[in-house]
Structure 1
Amino acid sequence: MSNEKPCRACTDFRTWAKRQKEVYDSEKGVQKKQDQTPVTSDKSNRDDCPLDKDELGSKSWAFLHTMAAYYPDKPTKNQKADMNNFFHIFSKFYPCNICAEDLQEQLKHSPPETGSQEKLSQWLCRIHNEVNKKLGKAEFDCTLVNQRWRDGWLDGSCD
């Protein structure tokens, strides 16, 4: 393992914490015991820690879906261009390099559909589902995006 500082935005919290400890121990010359248990640091008592990869992903998707949910039904040419540019710029600066490169590839094959709120929300749902497939997660029913991100569930549970 290299002594490069672990990337918090590129790994889940447990893996990051374990790697931090390994780097610290190697810098201090601490020998790892054979029966040493893995680091299982609990950050549940704090809500002001840097985001790990899973939290960053979840919160980024929430932001993107919410932004798409409030995109105009009839956007101007400038709004269409700005939204298209936003996704391309977002993909260049996303803190997780693997995720950023994946999004850049997706944008090449499926550029943002900025013609309306519905088109943008459906496009983003499809992109998100592609990521979910790669991660072995369940796909979201894209017919429900506005209930999930804008209007609330029909059963009134969000009221």
Structure 2
Amino acid sequence: MKIVRLEAHEGERLRTVRLAALGDAPDAFGGTLAEAAVRRADEWRQQLVELPTFVAELAGRDVGMVRAVRHKVELDTGELLSMWIAPTARGQGVGDALVDAVVAWARAEGLRRLVLEVGDANAAAIALYARNGFVPTGVTGSLPPPRMHIREHQRAREL
């Protein structure tokens, strides 16, 4: 397995893996497949400029992704976003490797903490995050419409 950080010229690669993620797990993300499918090529490239994006490669195929961003309010905090692992690659350490990539990014940026949001019913993701030191913060919420019935909670990890 290899983890790579996508560069701005790899917008089509991001588009492919993101659409796969939204198709596989539509209730795990704030965005929808319908919204993402109509994004222009320049919008995908811009996302790569704004959001550090890491992809897991296994046997020459992209099988997972994660993104990160600095928190808008808490300046010493980063956010882990958009985590997804293809069903065929689950249980092979891909998620742990992607978390490690975001932790390394955050440390290189001088951040002291990472936060993320995860669906309350997503037991596999909760186990992944717990295994990697993320603990509940007590902050809860829901996905945006039309999936506001899906509850989620925040988890954090000190670096």
TM-score, length of structure 2 as denominator length: 0.28
Structure showing greater Rg: 1
Higher strand share: 2
**Whose RCO is larger (CA < 8 A, sep 6+)?**
1
